[in-house]
Structure 1
Amino acid sequence: MARPRAFDESKVLTAVVEAFWTRGYEGTSTRDLVKCTGLNQPSLYNAFGDKRSLYLRSLEHYLECSVRDRIRRLEVLPNAGMAITGFFAEVLNRTLTDPLHRGCLLVNSALEATAEDPDLRQAIATELETIRCFFRDRLLAFSKQSSGAVVIDGCQGANHLLSVLLGVRVLARVSPDPTCVTEAIEIALNNLGLPPLVHSNVH
């Protein structure tokens, strides 16, 4: 019978997320991971595998606690348009309040992914598709709810919103100008007839 782990897995993964999120995969050393988790290297790797496996586990933890949690909370809102606006409002808030300008770990992972790591590329593609489907479904629902919605193919609108989301996340890392990122989001929402950011209660 396996002995129970003498550490909180969620807390360890959260610490690992912070390390990879701040330094990137290549920039994070085993020593960094040992330091941030408080575990020695054998314990860390016995529990989670090698550095790459730990990265994948930490990315999964990040997605479950951030992106997926956000979608679960917002997709049940009665106003489908507010679900999309609320999504971008939360992203904007996180973007503008992060003093390290780290962006989004999912997007950062996409920028670091290589052709030699198909598992990571697939995990990223799957998650981006989840976000795209959220946008598509909420757009289609909003078009039925509101006379002010712009008539557009749901898939096209979702692709546009996903592109704006990714662009804002990348832009915020290198040039975190609040006006620039806010206007990019506001224009995208306005073009689709969605509720403006100022009317969102999700900040």
Structure 2
Amino acid sequence: MPEQRLRGRPRGFDATEALEAATSVFWAKGYEGASVDALCRAMNMPRASLYQLFGDKERLFLAAIDHYAKTHLEPLAQSLGSIGVLEDDLEAFFDHVVTLATSDPSTLGCLISSVLSDAAGTNPLFKAELDRRFAALEARLSDRLRQSTYRLEAPAEVMAVVLASVARGLTLRARSGKSATELRAVGRAAARAFLHPVRE
């Protein structure tokens, strides 16, 4: 007997491919600019199926944010490591940020820093999601800073916010058209600007 499809699920539906397609539309057009019709075309599903599977555009956007975090931001965060020289790890981190923000001309910037932050506005659900995503990156940076022997300009949790803010600024400048070469130079400078070796 053929396997019965879930109600509302299009034939040949692949959830990962659908979310990747939705992510690209939101990333390129922004939340407001991504119409439901454009999302349906990219995801290759009728409007009724989209609503059946994801609830509404708001919930689809949050699902796309989660997909983006797992597939794009987790590899970026892993570049921080814990076994290399802190300056080198931070430079690799900023290099990954720039690559993510500039590698595809149709999806410049960052879905969270560029799109979710813009969409948050007065939407409490989006605001909470933005704060959660920002805090997660800052926690990873703070953990990495605490593992180093460098003397920092401020406590690790404060410096983590500074470094995360630089990363977000790089994605915003990428969104405005700044070149990867220029942004990598900024990232290299930021990786060393606030660190001081501990003198023996």
Structure 1: tracts of 5 or more residues without a match: 144-148, 195-203
The 3 A distance-change label for structure 1 pair 74 and 186 is: closer
The number of residue pairs the alignment matches comes to: 186
What TM-score does the superposition give when structure 2 sets the normalisation length? 0.84
Match of 2:49 among 38, 43, 46: 43
Percent of aligned pairs with the same amino acid = 25
Check conservation: 1:84, 1:138, Cα contact below 8 A: no
Moved more, 100-109 or 165-174: 100-109
Match status 1:21 vs 2:27: yes
Match status 1:59 vs 2:65: yes
Match of 2:194 among 178, 192, 195: 192
Match status 1:112 vs 2:107: no
Match of 2:185 among 176, 183, 186: 183
How far apart, CA to CA, are the structure 1 residues paired with 2:169 and 2:131?
Answer: 16
RMSD across aligned positions (CA)? 2.1
Match of 1:172 among 161, 171, 174: 174
Q: Report how far residue 101 of structure 1 moved.
A: 5.5
How far apart, CA to CA, are the structure 2 residues paired with 1:35 and 1:103?
Answer: 23
What TM-score does the superposition give when structure 1 sets the normalisation length? 0.83
1:37-186 superposed matches below 5 A: 37-71=43-77, 73-79=78-84, 81=86, 82-100=88-106, 102-108=108-114, 109-115=116-122, 117-143=123-149, 149-152=150-153, 153-186=155-188
Check conservation: 1:83, 1:138, Cα contact below 8 A: no
How far apart, CA to CA, are the structure 2 residues paired with 1:99 and 1:23?
Answer: 12
Q: Report how far residue 88 of structure 1 moved.
A: 1.2
Residue 93 of structure 1 aligns to a residue whose secondary structure is helix
Structure 2: tracts of 5 or more residues without a match: none
